[in-house]
Structure formats: C-alpha cells, structure tokens
C-alpha cells in the first residue's frame, strides 16, 4: 500500500524523488535515510563498495522491495509499496546483473513479453511495430527469430534491455549492465546507451562497478556507503573526492 505523498517539489524537472528512505532487514539498515532526486532526462550513475545498498536501492525504487519508511514519488505520484507491475505500468523498468530472459522463447517473443507486461495486450494496434522498433534500436533485428537458448552473454543482455525498453519506460534502472563483458563489449554497450539516451525521452539510473565507463555515461554519480548517500555530484568531482577515494576507489586502477 502506497503512503500519502509529502509536500511535492516545485521543480518540474524532478522525475523521481526519495526522501529519508529506510529499508531494514531485521536490525540491518540496508538503506539508511536515503534522500536524493532523479532528474528528468539525466543519466545518473550509482556506485559504492560491495554491500553499500545499491541493489536494494534499485529494488525499492522499482517495487521489488517495499521501503520500511520514507517517501518515494515518481512523476508526482507516491509509489512506496506499489508492486513491480504497477510501477512498470507507470513507466519504471529495470534490468538485472544476470540477464533474466525466457530461454524457451525467441528473441522477438522475449521483447513482446516485455511489451505485454508494461503496456498490456490492449495497448493498441501498434504493439507489433513497437516491438520491431525496439529490436532494431538495440541491434537485434537479424537475430529476432532465433531461440535465445544458446545466445552469448552480450546478446542476452541486449535481449533483456530490449524487453525493458518495450515496456515504454520513462525511467530505466540498470543493475551492473557491463558486468562480465570484455573491453570491446563494454565500449559497444556504452555507445548503445548513449544512442538510446539521445534517441528516446528516457531517464537512466545505472549501477556499475566499471567506474571509467560509468563516468563516461553519467551526468552525475551517486556514491552509497553503508546504506547512506556519501556524495552525489558530477563525475569529475565525485571521483576526485578524498572521501570517495578512501571508502571506494582506494588505490585500485579505475576499471
């Protein structure tokens, strides 16, 4: 059940707003008073040490987990406690670190399933054309009739991305989309995200450990640490901040 909305922001550019969001697992506060805004049309990066709360944040923002307390609004509407299907129908989609696709289906059937989940079978007579457009956008048209059983990791990630885009989201959360890819595949996916951002009226939130790629993609980066927001600013300021270097980057070469 969603909570009453707090006083709404006067900033029309805010798409999603989190205010003092807490998520507990027993005595553990996986999210501890998280407050920030996601701006319409931006590419926001999210990074931090293992266990910082990054995936929990995505789960709470997409309805997979309810927040224990606090307020979450999307497009001016209170959404805390809404299940994933309702969040999706409002325009919130996500991908997962390990591709979640239907191996018994073809590429096209996977993307069409995403469209049906987000838009519904009564979404209009242009659904088939919409699915074709999405498949073309992510570069899967030559493979659309193929079974996904033997698809490689990069292809499986493209299929999952296409299925998420087929829901017609306003806001897309990506959970470590570059995980497991080699350098050339990372460059290919970064270019794909940049093309999608330029072509679509879409806001991205990208959780990623490959910090160089994240900096190339993001207008701002949010650093989580122990479930709290350590910093949110431009990539240049975040990656040169002594607190971020101390708790996250350390002396490692940036990936």
pLDDT of 136 > 60? The answer is yes
What pLDDT does residue 121 have? 47
Return the SS3 of 224.
strand
pLDDT digit string (tens) for 15-31? 999 999 999 999 999 99
Kindly tell me if the per-residue pLDDT of 116 is higher than 90: no
Ordered structural domains, the chain, with CATH: 15-91+169-255 (3.40.50.300), 101-166 (no CATH)
Check: CB of residue 168 under 8 Å from CB of residue 91.
yes
pLDDT by residue (tens digit) across 45-81? 999 999 999 999 999 999 999 999 999 999 999 999 9
The reported pLDDT for the residue numbered 99 is 83
Q: Can you name the residues that pair with 71 across neighbouring β-strands?
A: 19
Q: Can you tell me the distance from the alpha carbon of 51 to that of 129, in angstroms, rounded to the nearest whole number?
A: 41
Which 3 state secondary structure label does DSSP give 24?
Answer: strand
What's the confidence (pLDDT) of residue 10?
46
Residues 158, 3: contact at Cβ < 8 Å?
no
SS3 39: strand
Q: How would residue 88 be classed by pLDDT, with cut points 50, 70 and 90?
A: very high
Contact 103, 148 (CB under 8 A): yes
Q: Which of 9-13, 112-116, 157-161, 181-185 has the lowest mean pLDDT?
A: 9-13
Q: Give residue 9's pLDDT.
A: 42
pLDDT band at 125 (very low <50, low <70, confident <90, very high): low
Q: What is the mean pLDDT of the chain?
A: 89
Per-residue pLDDT, 30: 97
Residue 87: pLDDT over 70: yes
pLDDT(84) > 90: yes
Q: What's the average model confidence in pLDDT over 154-177? A: 95
| C-beta separation of 250 from 50 below 8 A | no
Sheet arrangement for strand 77-78? 28-39, 14-25, 69-74, 77-78
Of 32-41, 114-123, 212-221, 243-252, the least confident: 114-123
pTM of whole model > 0.95?
no
pLDDT at residue 117 is higher than 90:
no
């Amino acid at each position: 059940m969603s909570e009453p909305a707090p006083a709404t922001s006067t900033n029309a550019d805010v798409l999603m707003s989190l205010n003092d969001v807490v998520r507990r697992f027993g005595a553990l506060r996986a999210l501890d008073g998280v407050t920030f805004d996601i701006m319409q049309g931006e590419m926001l990066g999210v990074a931090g040490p293992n266990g910082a709360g990054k995936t929990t944040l995505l789960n709470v923002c997409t309805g997979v987990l309810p927040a224990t307390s606090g307020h979450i609004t999307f497009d001016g509407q209170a959404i805390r406690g809404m299940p994933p299907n309702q969040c999706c129908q409002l325009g919130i989609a996500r991908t997962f670190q390990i591709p979640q696709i239907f191996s018994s289906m073809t590429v096209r059937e996977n993307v069409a399933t995403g469209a049906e989940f987000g838009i519904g079978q009564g979404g209009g007579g242009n659904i088939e054309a919409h699915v074709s457009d999405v498949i073309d956008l992510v570069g899967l048209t030559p493979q659309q009739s193929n079974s996904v059983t033997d698809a490689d990791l990069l292809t499986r990630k493209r299929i999952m991305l296409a299925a998420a885009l087929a829901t017609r989201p306003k806001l897309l959360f990506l959970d470590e989309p570059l995980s497991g890819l080699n350098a050339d595949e990372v460059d290919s996916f970064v270019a794909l995200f940049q093309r999608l951002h330029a072509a679509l009226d879409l806001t991205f939130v990208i959780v990623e450990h490959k910090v160089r790629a994240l900096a190339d993609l993001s207008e701002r980066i949010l650093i989580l640490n122990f479930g709290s927001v350590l910093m949110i600013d431009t990539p240049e300021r975040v990656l040169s901040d002594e607190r971020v270097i101390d708790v996250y980057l350390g002396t490692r070469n940036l990936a």
